[in-house]
């Protein structure tokens, strides 16, 4: 199992926050300062230039940014050595259902886990939200293709099949 972390800035409703649900279940560690994110983590960052791929297997940990992008210090985030963007996927969460690339933090983590070969861990974290398994159903085809890609370049090519 890959250790999961989340940088959380408390801008969302804690009662609806998927990261808080994962923390209560003991499945993730929340950090509240960017400087507390381990430097060797694989950081999920939608502004990253490289797509997540199976070549990223073996990451020491996986960190999601659970925050308002309007207030995030993107300069500080860009200093991370291993930053990856997720490829095209469709949200299944109740707020953004059916909208492309509008994933909740638990969906983003689950997608990253599936792509890097940790499907069981992805299923485990998705069980913590009522709509979690629906995310895997909605994205079954793209996730299976991305998980079979050899590298980031191939993932980017594959996503054009689903856009």
pLDDT at residue 68 greater than cutoff 60: no
C-alpha dist (Å) from residue 9 to 4, 6, 70, 109, 148: 17, 10, 12, 17, 34
What is the number of structural domains in the chain?
A: 1
> Which residues constitute the domain of residue 134?
4-159
Euclidean distance between CA atoms 1 and 49, whole angstroms? 26
Beta bridge partners of 84: 44
Tens of pLDDT, residue by residue over 98-144, are: 888 889 899 999 999 999 999 999 999 999 999 999 999 999 999 99
Length of the chain: 163
pTM for this prediction: 0.91
Q: What is the mean pLDDT of the chain?
A: 88
CA pair distance 35, 31, nearest whole angstrom: 9
Q: pLDDT digit string (tens) for 12-52?
A: 666 778 888 999 999 999 998 888 888 899 999 888 899 99
115: Cα within 13 Å, side-chain hemisphere: 34
Query: Which H or E element spans position 114?
Result: helix 105-115
């Amino acid at each position: 199992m890959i250790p999961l972390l989340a940088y959380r800035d408390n801008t969302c409703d804690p009662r609806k926050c998927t990261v808080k649900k994962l923390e209560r279940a003991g499945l993730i560690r929340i950090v509240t300062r960017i400087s507390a994110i381990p430097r060797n983590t694989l950081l999920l960052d939608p502004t990253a230039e490289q797509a997540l791929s199976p070549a990223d297997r073996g990451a020491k940990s996986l960190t999601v940014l659970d925050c308002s992008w309007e207030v995030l210090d993107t300069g500080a985030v860009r200093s991370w050595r291993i930053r990856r963007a997720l490829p095209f996927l469709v949200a299944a969460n109740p707020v953004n259902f059916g909208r492309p690339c509008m994933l909740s933090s638990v969906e983003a983590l689950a997608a990253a886990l599936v792509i890097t070969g940790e499907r069981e861990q992805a299923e485990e974290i998705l069980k913590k939200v009522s709509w979690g398994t629906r995310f895997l159903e909605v994205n079954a085809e793209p996730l299976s293709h991305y998980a079979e890609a050899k590298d980031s370049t191939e993932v980017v090519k594959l996503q054009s099949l689903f856009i």
